[in-house]
Chains A and B, each alone.
Chain A
Amino acid sequence: MQAAERAPITALRADPVLVRISGAFKHFPISGFGGLAVRAVDGVDLEIRRGETLGLVGESGCGKSTLARLVTALLPVTAGSIVFDGQDITRLRGTKLRRVRRKMQIIFQDPFASLDPRMTVGDILQEPLDNFSIGTVRERRKRVQELLRLVGLNPNFTNRYPHEFSGGQRQRIGIARALAVNPSFIVCDEAVSALDVSIAAQIINLLQDLQREFNLTYLFIAHDLAVVRHLSDRIAVMYLGKVVETADRNDIYDRPQHPYTKALLSSIPVPDPAVEKERAPINLKGEIPSPVNPPSGCRFHPRCPIARVPGVCSEVEPPLEPHGAKDQAAACHFAGQF
């Protein structure tokens, strides 16, 4: 059984892409409003390469968490496919799905909601080991202590409850749980957004150390570009259920091609006071439109500072196409022209 399954995977080892999201949609129907739906993820194509950290940014409500749940098979897609390590996971169920779950894990934003308040830390960390029958019961206990040490927590606190820990410590417990099954891919859904700056920095360092140690691939989600800057290799920017720009980290910061990316960048304070004085934040007009009924054409057009309306921007939806640097793509009719 093992050999038969392993064959195609070894053949695909050469594939630098670990996760391939193609035409992914997730619509949440609004009950009682015949046919209407929240189009949380509305046609996303994205690749996550082995060993890299892909930063995913976008304003709150643009569909980042929903995409994270699609990628980790916690939610079924409405349409499209998600291929993980050469295997389409969108239609997996039962044992096959469980086997894939072992390779990908997720860390959540809220360190208070992500740990079961009724379980001890030891039980929380042992649950994944039990689920996959990893080692003997004794070995699992030892492993739990190793995991705690690994994330910088006292290994003797296995019989403590989550409420006895601080936010940063809880987030470490969440990381330890994700590591328990030795995954190759971890989604960090705003894993540091709820933490103080100094605690967040510690957690980011921890995540980077772990990545080096265990060859992890990260999808690192944040709602602004400042956080993802130093740990991402590549960055994808999302707006209203779609990816509007992807590029290598430096290219996105130095030469953004999409006006939305540019606006996001302009709102990051710069540490150098001279540069900071020059910084002119681009204030986007109006509110984020409802994902139930996104604007026609380019869905950014009502807020875009360079939109041509009426005209191509409000009529034709721009595809995500190569623009700017190598490996950079933007969904804009006038990419880079600002």
Chain B
Amino acid sequence: MALPVAANIEDLSAWEVSEKQIGLWSDALQRFRRNRLAIAGAVLIAILVLIAFGSPLLVHLGILHDPIKQNVDYIESGPGQNGFSIGSDELGRDTLSRLMYGSQVSLAVGILVQAIILPIGLLVGLTAGYFGGRIDNLLMRFTDIWYAFPDLLFVLVVVSVFHPSLLTIFGAISLVNWVGLARLVRGQVLSIKEKEFVEAARSSGSSPAKLILKHLLPNSLGPIIVTLTFGIPNAIFLEAVLSFLGVGIQPPTPTWGQMVFDGYEAIYANPTSVVFPALAIGFTLLAFTFVGDGLRDALDPRMRR
């Protein structure tokens, strides 16, 4: 398949391109690094992950109290009292240990929910956006109805109808969140498929599967990552509210929402058992939101010089 080379095309000025190669992702990483809040958020998340994985080890080594061991003699201890560094709750359980263990549920809810909604959102969004027409209409009317339903109400109904377990809670939160992702993906696909590079690919014989996988999906990746990142605090918050309302993950598993709920009655006598979990929720939400913001700016091609 030799190609005759036109000898008279010698235009050396066209050969020049900057020496240094700028990769797409390394470029984004550089921009992310310049965002202080995003870095702070990322560090906080890293610490949280360390705590979530490290707590059982600390308990095993005897450095940390068992988070579910009750001690009726030492209920509602203040910070530093009876060997509880930041106090104990109404059942005499160590607040610090429960706080640290609580990160497990929050992180799991935040991340697993995204893992569940990713394939659903992609499938629905890509199908609706690429094929358009009647399929799109049907799917979008369906998501409209879904969207109109208040998130919390929906989750509450699902969780109360099917007994609150890890599965139903993750499932219910995923059910309310996939719609946002599906719509985002659809919107992305709709705008990208009109782009000339997609037409060019079509004209050079690429199949629909190839168009979707090699062009539409990679070009929607930035906004998808950002949406998933913002979805994490959203799911964490929903889970905390459920736990606070008493229909979340069932005791004795420590979760931050549940801790706020349990400590709420004795808030004046023993403020630490409310304040710390509330702060943990707040900072975790902020951390993920900052990272999401940073990613959005870093991955937006318009921000590239």
Spell out A's residues near B (CB within 8 Å): 69, 72, 74, 98, 101-102, 104-106, 108-110, 113-119, 127-128, 131-132, 134-135, 139, 143, 146-147, 149-154, 157, 159-161, 163-165, 168-169, 172, 174, 177, 180-182, 202, 206, 209-210, 213-214
Contact = CB atoms under 8 A, between A and B. Distances in A.
Contact of A150 (B6, B198, B201): B6
Interface in B1-29: 1, 3-6, 8-11, 14-15, 17-18, 21-24
B218 interface: yes
Interface of B: 1, 3-6, 8-11, 14-15, 17-18, 21-24, 195-207, 210, 214-215, 218-219, 221, 301, 304
Given A102-B205, A106-B199, A127-B206, A209 B6 contact: yes
Given A74-B203, A102-B205, A117-B24, A143 B1 contact: yes
A205 B172 CA distance: 63
Contacts of B21: 159-160, 164
Nearest to B222: A118
A182 B205 CA distance: 13
B3 A146 contact: yes
Contacts of A202: 11, 14
Contacts of A152: 9-11, 14-15
A214 B3 CA distance: 10
B206 A131 contact: yes
Contact of A115 (B15, B197, B204, B210): B197
A96 to B, nearest CB: 12
A117 B301 contact: yes
Nearest to B11: A152
A146 B9 CA distance: 12
Task: Report which residue of B11, B15, B198, B205 has the largest number of chain A beta carbons within 10 angstroms of its beta carbon.
Answer: B205
Cβ-closest 7 pairs across A and B:
A128-B204, A131-B205, A114-B196, A152-B11, A118-B218, A108-B196, A154-B15
A106 B218 contact: no
B218 to A, nearest CB: 4
A174 B197 CA distance: 9
Contacts of A101: 203-205
A150 B199 CA distance: 23
21 contacts: A74-B202, A74-B203, A98-B205, A101-B204, A106-B203, A108-B196, A118-B215, A118-B218, A118-B219, A118-B221, A128-B204, A128-B205, A131-B210, A139-B1, A150-B6, A151-B14, A163-B22, A168-B14, A169-B17, A206-B11, A213-B6
Given A108-B199, A152-B10, A152-B11, A118 B24 contact: yes
Contact of A74 (B199, B214, B301): B199
Nearest to A110: B196
A181 B205 contact: yes
Nearest to B219: A118
B19 to A, nearest CB: 11
B301 A105 contact: no
A114 B218 CA distance: 16
Contacts of B210: 131
Task: Report which residue of B1, B8, B207 has the largest number of chain A beta carbons within 10 angstroms of its beta carbon.
Answer: B1
A69 B219 contact: no
Contacts of A154: 15, 17
Contacts of B10: 152
A177 B200 contact: yes
